[in-house]
Amino acid sequence: MIENDLKSSILNSLAEGIFTVDKNFKINFINKSAEKITGFKNSEVIGKFCRNIFQSDLCIGNCPVARAIKLGDNIYDLRTKLKTKEGTIKLVKLNASIIKNDNDEPVGGIISFRDITPSFKEKNIGDYEEHFYGIVGQSRSMVNIFNLIQEIAYTDANVLIQGETGTGKEMIADAIQLTSKRKNEKYVKVNCAVLPPALLASELFGHAKGAFTDAIKDRIGRFELADKGTIFLDEIAEMPLQTQAQLLRVIQNGTFERLGESITRRVDVRIIAATNVNIKEATKQGKFREDLYYRLNVIPIEIPPLRERKEDIPFLIKYFIKKFNLLYNKDIIDIDRHALDVLIKYHWPGNVRELENVIEFAVIKTKDEHMITLCNLPGQVLEYNSDDECLEKVLRNNKIDTIDLLKLLEANKWNKSKVAEILGVNRSTLWRWLKKNQL
């Protein structure tokens, strides 16, 4: 008893945060520094799964304790994010070591970590807690976009946002406007795909009375309305070539004429454009003016599809659960592991918008429970998750055990695509197996 008290006193005197877990990854000790860094008290975490408490981005597929146990070696200087009790995100650097019994058998692990958030913020790498102007994303690709948005805040340069449908192009545009020096000026949005081609020019540049049949009075366009401010042109690739020529003139000279009028007018407008079309291919096909493309593409932003940033899925799910809890007066706490695995495995053709719809469906279906489960997910997601390959069978047939597989991954610098090719399986199959086994 005295020896245990002494060990606790020593661990509590350290400046680094420390917590230990048993072989089931349940927390059985946390020191004072860890309490201070995370905001969680000892009584709140003992006996709880560490991934449910700290929600590190390493918990999905790359648990440092599991990896240390499997490799039989310690893990050093891993950088990750932890969620505090207050819900904020802190960047930490951690080490993971194995705890063994007298028979040299692994019985748990010890994590030591230190808070590097202050230096991280000074370097402006991007510590975006819950969301960045409503955009949820903690993957490296999204953090890079957030940093870029902050870097261009002082400029009036035109921006071209490209990405698949449902990736959040309009939200990125909104964040650009909200951080810009024109944030207090007018912000006008136009969807170029909604309006008929014959009316789009009138909508953008206005018209004089009698310019066409229904032009019963003079009308200003969206560019005049946005003068001194910002205009967001969504689905820019759908703009007719003639209107593209008019837009090019506005960008080059800041001038235009209303339809049916010969008076030259001048505006000062910052342009943010967006498209889900491969615009370089559209220029080759003659559907989009190359000179306009280069005028718009001063600041290019490419939003990755959700399938390429799956580490953001757990954060997005929690965000949407909170949103729909309020909307539907529910009290759902989280999503269970099996349902989360299915959502991570899914290919998300509709991207973040589809994920939001799936979580809304799941929240509505969840009745008395406080946890979203597999039975609450929609059919199309569950149907996609039927495996036609079994990695365990491949490993067994090739007489490869877990240690051999880990060595193979290490030898190939954890290039899952290359290792999957060596094994003759899909990369997604290998990824799911590693995640399932917390490697």
Task: Find the radius of gyration of the CA atoms of the chain.
Answer: 27
> Higher model confidence: residue 386 or residue 110?
110
**pLDDT given for residue 357 in this prediction:** 95
The two three-digit tokens of residue 233, written as one number? 């042109």
**Residues 261, 355 within the same domain:** no
User: Model confidence at 72, in pLDDT bands (50, 70, 90)?
Assistant: low
Residue 311 belongs to domain with CATH number? 1.10.8.60
Assigned domain for 129 exists = no
**Residues 287, 315 within the same domain:** no
User: Model confidence at 61, in pLDDT bands (50, 70, 90)?
Assistant: low
- Please state the rounded mean pLDDT for residues 34-44: 90
The two three-digit tokens of residue 266, written as one number? 């001048």
Name the 3-class secondary structure at 265.
strand
d(CA 172, CA 351): 15
Q: Is the pLDDT of residue 378 over 90?
A: no
Q: Which of 357, 356, 422 is nearest to 391 (CA)?
A: 422
Q: Which of 304, 377, 393 is nearest to 345 (CA)?
A: 377
**pLDDT given for residue 239 in this prediction:** 94
In terms of average pLDDT, the best of 33-42, 44-53, 157-166 is 157-166
> Higher model confidence: residue 369 or residue 20?
20
Residue 250 belongs to domain with CATH number? 3.40.50.300
233-257 tens-digit pLDDT: 999 999 999 999 999 999 999 998 8
Structural domain boundaries, residue 106 = 2-122
pTM of the model: 0.60
The two three-digit tokens of residue 45, written as one number? 């975490």
Mean of all residue pLDDT scores within the chain: 83
In terms of average pLDDT, the best of 43-57, 307-321, 386-400 is 307-321
**pLDDT given for residue 105 in this prediction:** 83
Sequence-separated (6 or more) residues with CB below 8 Å from residue 268: 227, 228, 254
Q: Is the pLDDT of residue 428 over 80?
A: no
CA 439 to mean position of chain CA atoms: 22
**Residues 151, 295 within the same domain:** yes
**Residues 227, 83 within the same domain:** no
Number of domains the chain contains: 4
Q: Which long-range contacts (CB under 8 A, 24 or more apart) does 403-408 make?
A: 403/70, 406/70, 406/71, 406/439
**Residues 295, 155 within the same domain:** yes
**Residues 145, 294 within the same domain:** yes
Assigned domain for 133 exists = no
**Residues 75, 115 within the same domain:** yes
Q: Is the pLDDT of residue 218 over 50?
A: yes
**Residues 273, 247 within the same domain:** yes
Domain boundary residue, one of 384, 407, 423: 384
**pLDDT given for residue 73 in this prediction:** 67
Assigned domain for 291 exists = yes
**Residues 156, 236 within the same domain:** yes
Residue that is written with structure tokens 């370097």 in the block: 123
**Residues 418, 297 within the same domain:** no
Residue 52 belongs to domain with CATH number? 3.30.450.20
Domain boundary residue, one of 122, 153, 179: 122
Domain boundary residue, one of 122, 151, 179: 122
Assigned domain for 127 exists = no
Assigned domain for 169 exists = yes
**Residues 411, 341 within the same domain:** no
Assigned domain for 154 exists = yes
Q: Is the pLDDT of residue 393 over 60?
A: no
* Percent of the chain residues past pLDDT 70, beyond the cut: 84
Assigned domain for 132 exists = no
**Residues 283, 322 within the same domain:** no
**pLDDT given for residue 64 in this prediction:** 77
d(CA 139, CA 162): 18
Q: Is the pLDDT of residue 122 over 50?
A: no
